[in-house]
Structure 1
Amino acid sequence: MVQGRTERLIRPIATAIGVVLALLWALAPIYWIVVTSLKTSREVYSSPPTLYPMRPTFSNFEAALFKSNFLQFVWNSAQVAIAVTLISAAIGALAAYPVARMRFRGRSVAARTIVTAYLLPPSLLFIPLFLVLQSLGLMNTKLGLIIAYLTFTVPFCTWMLIGYFRTIPIELDEAAVMDGASRFQTLTRVVLPIAIPGLAVVALFAFTHAWNEFLYALVFVHSNDTKTFTAGLTGLIMGDTFIWGQLMASSVIAIVPILIIYIVAQKYIVEGLAAGSVKG
């Protein structure tokens, strides 16, 4: 009996310690980014480093916002990420529905092909994509970057939605077909309204992938009119010199939109992930 009481006391303590360690592991880099963005250049390079700014300054944010092209880069990232998200969610839903809800020859092959396409690392595709975009005259354009991003966001969205659509009772489709609805009408009027949490999850992940992507943005665009913020940050690295204060301030600014989106859509994210994990 004493042992049972001891276990009941130890479990919540161990859980609390685990949660605290996980939070420290996750939040420590973000804390350091914010702290560094508020330091002067002298303090950034001071030794030993300070854990908080001795004389907080917003000069790094001022330089990032008003003395550079960073806002243009953020706007470019937003345009590309929003376009990629909308197209990926639309194509993903149209591709996932037949695989998840219909029976046809080659269905399992199609599902495996989607998984394979998703698992291919982007670093293997950027050379073929470079040649394709160059031949189409889409190098250094936002459209070319959007097309490049769709190569990894569409398979991701499709695969996630396949699992989510399978959690919706098939009887709803059968009832809609009996009422005279086409497959497309069944998808748009019956399945998608129920699958809003799942759509929110895939849209948020697609947006995050496109927002944070660096390799394609660095290779496929180079002018200030088309650069995304991830590629634009490389302008703050000059040889072996890093402008750490402005780099960290720019990173904080870039984090804010994603943070706001996830806070606002937290309910849908939890619902979508929970429902999608019930049945695959």
Structure 2
Amino acid sequence: MATSKSNTGESKPSDGSTAGGSATGGPTTSGLVSHETQKRLQRVAVYLTALLISIFTIVPVYVMVVIAIQPPAATFAGGRVNLLPTEPALRNFVVLLTETDTIRYFGNSLVVTLGSTILSTTIAVAAGYGLTRFDFAGKSIAARAVLFSYMFSPIVLAIPLYVVFSTLGLLNSHFALTLALTAISAPFCIWLMWQYFQTVPIALEESAWVRGASRWRTVKDVVLPVARPGYISAAIFAFAVAWNDFTMARVVMSRDEMYTINVGASLFLDRVSIGWGETMAVSLLIALPPFLIALFLQRYLLQGFSVGGLE
């Protein structure tokens, strides 16, 4: 290959290639990890991360289920915890249903959770639609202020709400707890629906208006069917907040018969007649409703949270 010399006397390739590069000007892979190897390493890292997360998630759930479905004698036989179920039985669940107020606690949770879910979702749909379709001064600031209010911890709101409910004589009532739980979940639900309604084309409503439909008829027959993934996602979020709540129920309720399942289950630890088997059984009962909802409505959940930069 012919070479030319520069003024400094150094030899350079005359065909335009540079030192450390190929004849086409691309970088060489000598001493470097190839692109395919990098992709394999990234894939392995992702799989290992997913495996570790799965282990940390599944193992506690497995331990809970095994202890819940075994009698205490089988679970602690031989002076150690047996995590391989050999004698599955419903003994722990029978004890919960016959010797504790689990059914009452469960019913209280269903009442306040369903009430809060319906109220939060209704407020979110109305507020989200209004923020999207109507113009008024400070609209964006108001929407972001709603989301900012969600950043407050429930314990920060607990004492002010307690004072308000005490003044109004609403303590130890399902209505007060429903309002308290709605105050926690509604801000994020409103922000979620505000984002989702922005993806619903206004042309759909204009087409219905041209045909003589009222705004209410348009919202009911056109907008809401299109926005179904959004408000179902908001409802799932509100349900999860209300069902898993402990703080508000402990503050607002002071009578044992009004406790929700989470507060009631915490009382089982103080009872001599209730052991780890019964405690794990009630924990399994608490975990079932959110699990079933997420299992059967996960399609809507993913669609709803993938809008507006939430993915």
Q: TM-score range by the shorter chain?
A: 0.7 to 0.9
| Residue identity (%) | 32
Maintained 8 Å contact 1:163/1:276: yes
How many equivalent pairs are there? 279
Greater relative contact order structure (CA < 8 Å, 6+ sep): 1
Candidates 98, 106, 110, aligned match of 2:130: 98
- Aligned twin of 1:18: 49
Q: Partners of 1:252 and 1:112 in 2: how far apart?
A: 37
- Aligned twin of 2:287: 255
Provide, for residues 125-174 of structure 1, a one-character-per-residue CA deviation record: whole Å limited to 9, x for no partner.
11111111122221111111111111112212111101111111232233
The alignment status of 1:80 with 2:115, answered yes or no, reads: no
Counterpart mapping for 1:192-203 below 5 A = 192-203=224-235
Candidates 137, 153, 158, aligned match of 1:121: 153
- Aligned twin of 2:24: none
Q: Describe the SS at the equivalent of 1:119.
A: coil
Candidates 298, 301, 305, aligned match of 1:269: 301
TM-score scaled by structure 1? 0.88
Maintained 8 Å contact 1:198/1:276: no
Provide, for residues 230-261 of structure 1, a one-character-per-residue CA deviation record: whole Å limited to 9, x for no partner.
11112212289983221111010121122112
Q: Partners of 2:87 and 2:183 in 1: how far apart?
A: 46
Q: Describe the SS at the equivalent of 2:306.
A: helix
* RMSD over aligned Cα atoms: 2.7
Tell me which moved more, 171-180 or 190-199: 171-180
Maintained 8 Å contact 1:93/1:158: yes
Q: Partners of 2:272 and 2:256 in 1: how far apart?
A: 23
Q: Describe the SS at the equivalent of 2:190.
A: helix
- Aligned twin of 1:64: 96
What amino acid is aligned across from residue 286 of structure 2 in structure 1? A
Tell me which moved more, 160-169 or 233-242: 233-242
Tell me which moved more, 236-245 or 119-128: 236-245
- Aligned twin of 1:174: 206
Call closer, same or farther: CA 1:263–1:80 in 2, change over 3 Å: same
Candidates 50, 61, 79, aligned match of 1:30: 61
What amino acid is aligned across from residue 52 of structure 1 in structure 2? L
Q: Partners of 1:96 and 1:165 in 2: how far apart?
A: 7
- Aligned twin of 2:184: 152
Maintained 8 Å contact 2:195/2:307: no
Higher Cα Rg, which structure: 2
Provide, for residues 3-23 of structure 1, a one-character-per-residue CA deviation record: whole Å limited to 9, x for no partner.
344345434433322221121
The structural deviation recorded for 1:175 is 3.2
Q: Describe the SS at the equivalent of 2:255.
A: coil
The structural deviation recorded for 1:54 is 5.7
Structure 2 unmatched runs, 5+? 1-28
The structural deviation recorded for 1:58 is 3.1
Q: Partners of 2:145 and 2:272 in 1: how far apart?
A: 43
The structural deviation recorded for 1:182 is 4.2
The alignment status of 1:139 with 2:171, answered yes or no, reads: yes
Q: Partners of 2:76 and 2:253 in 1: how far apart?
A: 31
- Aligned twin of 2:194: 162
Q: Partners of 2:267 and 2:221 in 1: how far apart?
A: 48
